[in-house]
Chains A and B, each alone.
Chain A
Amino acid sequence: MIRFASALAFLVLVALPARAEVDIQEVTSPGGLTAWLVEEHSIPFVALELRFRGGASLDAPGKRGAINLMTGLIEEGAGELDAQGFAEARDDLAASYRFDVGDDVLSVSARFLTENRDAAVALLQSALTDPRFDAQAIERVRGQVLAHLKSRETDPGALASAAFDRLAYGDHPYGSYYGGTPESVAALTRNDILDAFARTVARDRVVIAAVGDITESELGALVDTLLGGLPETGAPLPAELAFGATGGITVVPFETPQSVAQFGQPGISVEDPDFFAAFILNTVLGGVGFNNRLMEEVREKRGLTYGIGTYLVDSDYSESLVGSVSTVNPRMGETIDVVRGAWALMAREGLTAEELAGAKTYLTGAYPLRFDGNAPIARILVGMQLSGYPVDYVKTRNARIEAVTLQEANRVAAELFRPEALRFVVVGQPEGVQSTN
């Protein structure tokens, strides 16, 4: 199994990418739901991932934070069981369920032993179809959410995101924090919670993946048991919108020794034929890992920061190219100049052939390393479905990266990177940095 080709293997500096060896099956349940499955019978448990599209962006007008609060309540009692009874039943089965929500999806991550599978699924089913939303639980979880919202008011990173999102997305759900405000959350009623549940958790928007000790037919039956009782549909999904911030600097004064900056500009969709070129460009500029241009310029050469990164954000209803960095107040001005310089250089000259080759080797080599456990693979499988990828994407993805030419990458660099469109939001007391507009 091990592949030490020879004692000289370590002399080979450039890797041939290893292949991700997962066998994904597309399962259609008797009830008509589709799930992706990787069978892995060596450990007696299953990792199950569900995603409900729309997530917290389906909050009703004036009810910001309702879906977030509702998500925190799904596990707080269902059917005959109150919150404590539910937790005891879950622990008796040594199962775990995690419910989470963000701008695009409500996620359910479950893990259960083979020996307890039916009971663990039945308990999860009761949470997803018959949550109690008891008054006492609502008040308890509301208190936790309010404490969290209060902490965000003095967290520079949260303040930067909030100001940036408002500039970029205005009144669209993306323009505000999905957790809501202290005022909006304080005003939510039990009816609002019930409505939030009905808007979000429905069969027509669910994406399913399972990895572990389960067969195709067992998964089909499991999915029908679990989700057969859900309503067919919920609230209409949000509208697409463009990234709306323009170039410039916004300073949000805040007393702290170190300023935090978030910066960004319009991005590119995964459905765009140029996406993979953009993905490579971002990897070289400020993507994963250490050896990108921004880490080199900002950290390695100048010691301005502990970390800087940029990300191509392909949300379901908009795209952006964003980054963030922290530095002590006197050095934020210099840091912004360096970031702008790197942006302009990328737009003007693109990549070198060497950088393109290095990024391709890295990205194609790193990809198979992600498939390293039932739970990580299940998360990858739901992510692929949400992005609209076909089941054979795992096998074609590296070829798509290899296919990007230097000419193509540099054409996309000139189109995508727009230094004049880059908006910085700085929270802190940056010296010599003023709001521009």
Chain B
Amino acid sequence: MRLARFAVFAVLALSARPLMAAGEVTDFTLDNGMQVVVIEDHRAPVVVHMVWYRTGAADEPPGKSGIAHFLEHLMFKGTDERAAGELSKVVEANGGSDNAFTSYDYTAYFQRVAADRLALMMEMEADRMRDLALAPDDVATERSVILEERATRTDSEPGALFREELDAALYRNHPYGVPVIGWKGEMEGLTRDDALAFYRQFYAPNNAILIVAGDVLPDEVRALAEAQYGRLVPSEGIGPRARPQEPPSRAARRIVLEDARVAQPSLMRSYLAPAREPGDQGTAAALAYLARLLGGDAATSVLGRALQFDSQLAVHTSAGYSATSLDDTTFSVVVVPAEGVSLAEAEAALDAQLATFLKTGPDPVAFERLRMQIRAAEIYALDDVGEIADRYGRALTTGLSIGDVQAWPEALQAVTIDDVLTAARAVLDKRASVTGWLLPEGGEGVL
């Protein structure tokens, strides 16, 4: 999950009328350690300028949940040179849009503007990397805003509360079990000093990645980046990101959340799963296939065909896997039962399908079809360099290299049926899972 600074989220999209091939990628590193990635797309005179920090909610000190995201909001509150809100106003005065987002492993800031405004964006972003200045009143007001954000996006949504509980049960030791937005009680106590301490610890050129995507040339980006970011002094003491890891899992866990606002019961099971590893992306690639084969399109996936078409026990099935994560990630399956079908029946049907799949493996025809679709997706991806920028940002903030990003499409094409089956047998182990039921108050009996 990731949270954006405000709800009307600008669509991150850029695309290519190639002078050269669309999606040409160049990378280099500044002397102060700041990594730079340039993605060319000359179809429209637009650029996306992003700075990604290798820090997120999973790097927060205990008891300060939400501080990474709170700081992200406060980064718009001014510097020694600019007043609160001025950066966004300047972006708008230049016809652009800006926003930011926070996840467990990264925090990123971006502007989308006409390509000839890139230098100005860099100047402002470099300024707030080192010279944030926070007025106490601005901090207090913004804390109300993040509490309202939690009220809107989590406390008013039983489905979001359910996922929060599920993650908390799955991760017993690792901070992925703490919500990115924070626990309400801890958010209420976050202070200006907490935010500044987090800022000083993690916001530095040698902990940041600059990604520029759009109608730009690498040499010009390099000159501008050296002028704007190159003058920033790196921080000492940015060490390896060692979070508390999960101990071996021995017990299948279950949670039940009842909420009066739930109209439609559902069940979700999350398993701990490995993520893409530097130089070793094969298992993650196989799990990406597994998610699509089990719970992709309803008409072609294993769960969709069995539960929605054949037995008609479900109105919705899906499976999900987030491959890009610094530490162990999750593989999830969801079933929304049909009218009159209990969650127990739905879960039994789900378990039966998973057991059959683990025995017989995927249908070879379906497998080849999916491989071809994944290859085609690379062509469609060229229409949206914003998405390509996102791929690099997520990978480079989760321990992967540029080489890993570029090897990922091949890793996906190299997956075999046996790989999928091996990965499925390792991951679909209930002992490393939480099964959650989301129900109306009073349980299914009230429906």
Contact = CB atoms under 8 A, between A and B. Distances in A.
A9 B216 CA distance: 15
A258 B114 contact: no
Contacts of B369: 88, 91-92
B172 to A, nearest CB: 28
A interface majority secondary structure: mixed
Most buried by B among A14, A113, A139, A374: A374
B7 interface: yes
Interface in A299-337: 299-307, 309, 326-328
Interface string A201-233: 000000000000000000000000000000000
B305 A84 contact: yes
Nearest to A367: B95
16 contacts: A4-B220, A7-B227, A9-B117, A18-B95, A94-B372, A154-B260, A257-B151, A289-B97, A290-B92, A303-B142, A306-B152, A326-B152, A362-B95, A365-B113, A371-B44, A372-B15
Q: Which 8 A-B pairs rank lowest in CB-CB distance, beginning with the nearest? A: A365-B95, A303-B144, A94-B376, A87-B299, A373-B15, A10-B119, A307-B7, A10-B120
Contacts of A139: 312
Interface residues of B, number: 88
Contacts of A143: 312, 315, 338-339
A366 B297 contact: no
Contact of A309 (B8, B18, B220): B8
Interface in A351-365: 358, 361-365
Nearest to B116: A3
Interface of A: 1-5, 7, 9-10, 12-15, 17-19, 21, 40, 42-45, 47, 76, 83-84, 86-88, 91-92, 94, 111, 113, 136, 139-140, 143-144, 146-147, 150-156, 255-258, 260, 288-291, 295, 299-307, 309, 326-328, 358, 361-369, 371-376
B64 interface: no
A312 to B, nearest CB: 15
Nearest to A47: B383
A111 B380 contact: yes
Interface in B325-376: 336, 338-339, 369-370, 372-373, 375-376
Nearest to A361: B93
B422 interface: no
A364 B95 contact: yes
Interface in B1-34: 6-8, 11, 13-19, 22
A87 B297 contact: yes
Given A143-B339, A369-B113, A290 B148 contact: no
Interface stretch (B82-90, B201-209, B230-238, B282-290): B82-90
A15 B151 contact: no
Contacts of B379: 43-45, 113
Given A258-B155, A291-B85, A303-B148, A1 B217 contact: yes
Given A1-B217, A3-B116, A84 B372 contact: no
Contacts of B90: 13
Contact of A373 (B13, B112, B145): B13
A305 B148 contact: yes
Given A258-B151, A304-B148, A368 B44 contact: yes
Nearest to A76: B299
B300 interface: yes
B376 A14 contact: no
Interface string B287-324: 00000000001011000010011001001100000000
B277 interface: no
Interface in B151-205: 151-153, 155-156
Contacts of B262: 154
A246 B140 CA distance: 37
Interface string B373-398: 10111011011100000000000000
A165 B116 CA distance: 44
Given A94-B376, A290-B92, A21 B45 contact: yes
A304 B224 CA distance: 40
Contacts of B402: none
A153 B16 CA distance: 44
Given A291-B89, A300-B85, A42 B95 contact: no
Nearest to B219: A2
Nearest to B381: A43
A132 B8 CA distance: 39
Contact of A300 (B22, B141, B224): B141
